[in-house]
Amino acid sequence: MKKFEDSGLLLARVLMTILFITAGWGKLTGYAGTAQYMQSMGVPGFLLPLVILLELGGGLAILFGFLTRFTALFTAGFTLLTAFLFHSNFAEGVNQLMFMKNLSIAGGFLVLGLVGPGAYSIDRLIRQRAMPATAR
């Protein structure tokens, strides 16, 4: 199984970021509506640019394996926070499922934060270039 680890981590990064890149783009193109929804949930609309940066920018960073550990851990925290802020009203049908989905996603990002992006990543290229030639 070790021989498939790097390919598996690449596939995991692709699958984990589809939702975030899509959501970030949707928030960017539907900015006013998203800000209004956030405010209706008690979250200040001025935080929306940071949310877009994390979802779209962070999603792309993880996809390409750039600053992966930091971004994955930060995204795990963000995902847990959104579970509690937006999906904790279990009286509304789908919220319990959405809450558990966010917990699962956060778990995946925690694992990625611990193990790193694997060989097929910008992080790996940066590490290789920073290493002295004798250590490679």
pTM, whole model, 2 decimals? 0.90
CA 78/CA 72 separation, integer angstroms: 10
For residue 119, the Cα-to-chain-centroid distance in whole angstroms is: 19
Per-residue pLDDT, 135: 58
CA 36/CA 81 separation, integer angstroms: 19
What is the distance in angstroms between the CA of the first residue and the CA of the last residue of the chain? 24
Q: Tens place of pLDDT for every residue, the chain, 136 residues?
A: 678 999 999 999 999 999 999 999 999 999 999 999 999 999 999 999 999 999 999 999 999 999 999 999 999 999 999 999 999 999 988 999 999 999 999 999 999 999 999 999 999 999 999 877 665 5
The 10 Å Cβ neighbour count of residue 13 is: 23
Domain range list for the chain: 1-130
